[in-house]
Structure 1
């Protein structure tokens, strides 16, 4: 196949074709890859462009001898392109030819690689340029411009250059287009799979582009006129090992993403853009970026324009060096990746907990209270990552949670609230890319987390957000001071996004509910909503605290005491339980999951007083039993600190669906029970602590 490309440049008289071609050749001639072919014209040499003059008889004779690859007539003149230009194309040189749009169909099939370049300009500029040329009267110029021009036929690829501004600008645009289209390569599917990262391959002796120069950039972008560009890592292949000099190979995933057949012509560009790389280098060097600059970098990272090493270097620096102003900038930039939901009301409330407290399943209590009070609370929650259950896992033991945006809107319209999985509504492709880099490296920061959390709340349409920040020896936040500092950051960044945020530092040193695992935590939630005597007082109090604060700061109650009274009235009346039932029905009821059929109790090794319960260790035992994947698995805590127990008395019960999981969990409990017991011996207290970090 020919390597050279014929660039057939068309446009109306006066548009500046000759000027742009001359300017482009001045820039490209030194490469040795471009030539301009002279037209044979039946016009004297002294008139118009630099051409090869010929008489009509001579022109006819050349036609008869087959000297022309392509010829046409216009404006009572004859024009021709000599067949010798095929020699340049065969040698790999790209040929620029000034042509005619009306004659374009006759050119079809004569060359392997044809690109039509259409130069356009406004009618006023055309008239001005034609008048300066002095060949036609004003009436003739007006008639020429008014002449209806048929659309370009679909022959080859098409590039349009607008020559309405400065000549230098138009020449630069033309050169960029020529370079892009001249370096096109033949697409080939490689028998290689590259998983998430797309990969492209060039032969080291590639004849169309300088392969080593492109390899130095690390990333390229594969383009065609028919499909969106696909970024890919670039690898070079030794000559003679599966790729010709004018081919580009794509891994299976990249080939399927591009969606073109083998043999299609594609162009490649270096990526990312120089301006984007300058931003990345500034941040890595310790500089600050604004919202628009972060948005640019995030977009190019999501589009995989950077090698993973450069992405990681940027994220390391960004995550570790954000001040308040930059945290707001990151949050705003992240908001651009998801459209904001408009709920059609002035107040939409939401809640987020930093987590870290076993059994603190307050959201399924808060949402129905707040919704029953008349506020909208479309709550989306996550599944557990390291704990025995997340809010989404617990709700999944009662109803469907995998709702899309339309389904969530319908549930909220009917009930005033929802408790759904955030994977479909709040999913961010930016998080996918960032997490793939940061999680293996253990990278995290409060600033980065705050920007991520609040940008999702903004996208979900929230106007008022409460933040639960538990602190304690085993929680994510170790001290009240640390929690209060983070709370201030949440409030500052929230204000930067136009949200009203109120954060609370809460005691996270103790287990809140009895159950650890989806079905057992759901049981605790329903006990509170049913006002059952055995309901966890700590779980009830914490849920009412946040429900009251939501009602108060959203303007639903004049004082916090009045808000607490209103929330408790809704709970005591049964309205909250009815509202949760309505939400579950709207989301799609499932058979409520009960604790698993297999169980084993873990007893006290001696008589004494319960000193502390390591809920984090018990959560690990629950995970060994199968939670949260198995909604029926978990640990049911039967004692509380300060309670007297006898030797052998059950401290907690492990539930599992299969004997192997039960035995594994029981073995872990045997090694480290996770409960501290104080025994009275010789008028002194001897503490026996089972499990690390017991509280």
Structure 2
């Protein structure tokens, strides 16, 4: 049997050693693998302080003389000691945690099979605050105490550092994690089994760890160090349990051929195995599934474990379903902050940094490519990060890619904004996190959708982009994501509330989304409309122009020098009509990297005609977008639909309603067949 470990806890007064040990004692009470030693102290049992074993000075001296103490020391006029019987418990495989003294560490190291020091630390500011709260010392005494040099810990003894600057729960979790890592060390053994692309770790049924903590569909972290390397090497693997006494000894862990090669450590290396997910994370997941409200720390732990593959898809799906049913405003704010923490934020030396977002779902509404140049021409900084299409015919990034590179690095975004005052970049390279990948992989196939979850994701991306002020477009309509004005306004209130909670100024606006905006649907066709607006072309779609001016005016109103919303809209219109916005777009495109040649609308075309005369009462944007995607958009930049008629127009039988553009004949034929089944136009 492998002996247990003696953990000796040291640290300065105020570091919180006793508090952390009390928390750990409660957490580990049912494990049976740990014991917390009661120190012998020559003071009465009812004298307060720690739970100790009271002993008289004569009895203490006699016990010490008889070899009944593992270690002893003096402090504050008292005698302290640890009973020698603790060694027997260690030899039986039990781990012991004890509050100790730096002066006896070397002696203890030679008296027990294995000693690990847990050095609990805290910043000077935290130590001073905690000492002052006790009311035992004057400020001068506390300052003198903190100024004393702490003796160095002895060399050659493994030491774990636990920082305890935050909440008690956080400190206890760090303390437990340190102990857990130390007690879960195994000897590495390669196993000649080909697991193909999956990393498999093998544990014997009688493993010293207890396989119940690791077996199941989740993964574990397998980590170890190569001699001379500072950072550990690690892989994530699934656990398979093998019969006891066959392949592996109780203190060994086996790795499949692929996993062993990927870890890159020699056989016999010391390996740490970390349960995935940790208990706090699993408790948080279960609490959310039960409908309870979680805090920021809960979400930070839980989302990190989800992103790192510590949960099977079934448990993630259960969590997401529960989250779509019950997310409080405070939880949305917590999620936004946590999601933002998974990406490196952009920092700007600007008093105002603006951004814009649309909930989408309205084909052709490509106003960002007009708003950003107007804002840049005015002089405000607008580092716009945008998404690609998921279910639509074009996202903002897809459309901008017709003109310029969008896969910018953070440094390229900074340079572009410095040179042109704005950028329109793809967010996948900037503020996309592993959380998005995992969540999208679960939510999309299952059709899980939550506006509240979306708000957290959107706000997190604005935080990562470094925005201070954000305008949010909330289109509503029978075919939009938001069905009614009431739903849009309610979501707008949530956006603004969460924005305030995380330090953003957010203005959310409910807009009519009853029909597509502009004429083009698909990247090149939408850019054609944008350029017509920026160049004052007579064929520019008026609805696209007016909506762009509305949002540009709202953003410019945040500039204290502009004044009212009416003045800011007039300023936006002037920048548009003067050509300043068009010139600003050129500067943005040049800074990002101009695309040459610029894709044009695809040459293969087919007009879709009205089957009978009538008045157009409705255009189903989702259907129109689906036809454009069938034609090849957004991957084929030139594919899409050119709308020729709008809601309210009177049409004759056989009159063209729209034209399908495609680059390949099979794509055109498929889109034509889809339009023949349902062209998305409702004639009254």
311-320 or 529-538: bigger deviation: 311-320
1:501-543 deviations in whole A, cap 9, x for unaligned? 1111111011111111111011010010010000000100100
The answer on whether the counterparts of 2:404 and 2:593 sit within 8 Å (CA) in structure 1 is yes
Q: How far apart, CA to CA, are the structure 1 residues paired with 2:152 and 2:557?
A: 69
Q: What is the SS of the residue equivalent to 2:608?
A: strand
1:420 Cα deviation from its structure 2 partner: 0.7
1:556 Cα deviation from its structure 2 partner: 4.5
The answer on whether the counterparts of 1:180 and 1:268 sit within 8 Å (CA) in structure 2 is no
Residues 1:333 and 1:652: Cα distance change in structure 2 (over 3 Å): same
Q: How far apart, CA to CA, are the structure 1 residues paired with 2:559 and 2:324?
A: 32
Max Rg structure? 1
Q: How far apart, CA to CA, are the structure 1 residues paired with 2:456 and 2:176?
A: 42
The answer on whether the counterparts of 1:101 and 1:152 sit within 8 Å (CA) in structure 2 is no
State the partner residue of 1:504.
Answer: 509
2:188 to 186, 197, 205: 186
Q: How far apart, CA to CA, are the structure 2 residues paired with 1:207 and 1:661?
A: 59
Check if 1:302 corresponds to 2:304. Answer: no
Q: How far apart, CA to CA, are the structure 2 residues paired with 1:496 and 1:31?
A: 44
Q: What is the SS of the residue equivalent to 2:493?
A: helix
Q: How far apart, CA to CA, are the structure 2 residues paired with 1:119 and 1:503?
A: 51
State the partner residue of 1:663.
Answer: 669
Residues 1:201 and 1:364: Cα distance change in structure 2 (over 3 Å): same
State the partner residue of 1:201.
Answer: 202
Q: How many residues align?
A: 575
1:236 Cα deviation from its structure 2 partner: 2.0
Q: How far apart, CA to CA, are the structure 2 residues paired with 1:625 and 1:186?
A: 55
State the partner residue of 1:640.
Answer: 646
Residues 1:152 and 1:487: Cα distance change in structure 2 (over 3 Å): same
1:654 to 626, 641, 660: 660
State the partner residue of 1:210.
Answer: 210
State the partner residue of 1:223.
Answer: 223
The answer on whether the counterparts of 2:186 and 2:253 sit within 8 Å (CA) in structure 1 is no
Check if 1:614 corresponds to 2:600. Answer: no
Check if 1:674 corresponds to 2:680. Answer: yes
Check if 1:377 corresponds to 2:374. Answer: no
State the partner residue of 2:470.
Answer: 465
State the partner residue of 2:605.
Answer: 599
Unaligned runs of 5+ in 2: 10-24, 35-62, 70-89, 97-103, 122-148, 163-170, 226-230
Please give the root-mean-square deviation of Cα atoms over the aligned residues, in Å: 4.4
1:324 Cα deviation from its structure 2 partner: 1.7
Residues 1:463 and 1:175: Cα distance change in structure 2 (over 3 Å): closer
Q: How far apart, CA to CA, are the structure 1 residues paired with 2:469 and 2:64?
A: 78
TM-score, length-scaled by structure 1: 0.72
The answer on whether the counterparts of 1:188 and 1:263 sit within 8 Å (CA) in structure 2 is no
1:450-469 deviations in whole A, cap 9, x for unaligned? 11111210121111111100
State the partner residue of 2:144.
Answer: none
1:434 to 417, 436, 439: 439
1:474 Cα deviation from its structure 2 partner: 0.5
The answer on whether the counterparts of 2:549 and 2:569 sit within 8 Å (CA) in structure 1 is yes
Residues 1:241 and 1:455: Cα distance change in structure 2 (over 3 Å): same
1:6 Cα deviation from its structure 2 partner: 10
Q: What is the SS of the residue equivalent to 2:323?
A: helix
1:485 to 486, 490, 504: 490
State the partner residue of 1:535.
Answer: 540
Residues 1:554 and 1:261: Cα distance change in structure 2 (over 3 Å): farther
TM-score, length-scaled by structure 2: 0.73
Q: How far apart, CA to CA, are the structure 1 residues paired with 2:635 and 2:177?
A: 58
State the partner residue of 1:691.
Answer: none
The answer on whether the counterparts of 2:394 and 2:522 sit within 8 Å (CA) in structure 1 is yes
State the partner residue of 2:282.
Answer: 277
Q: How far apart, CA to CA, are the structure 1 residues paired with 2:655 and 2:551?
A: 36
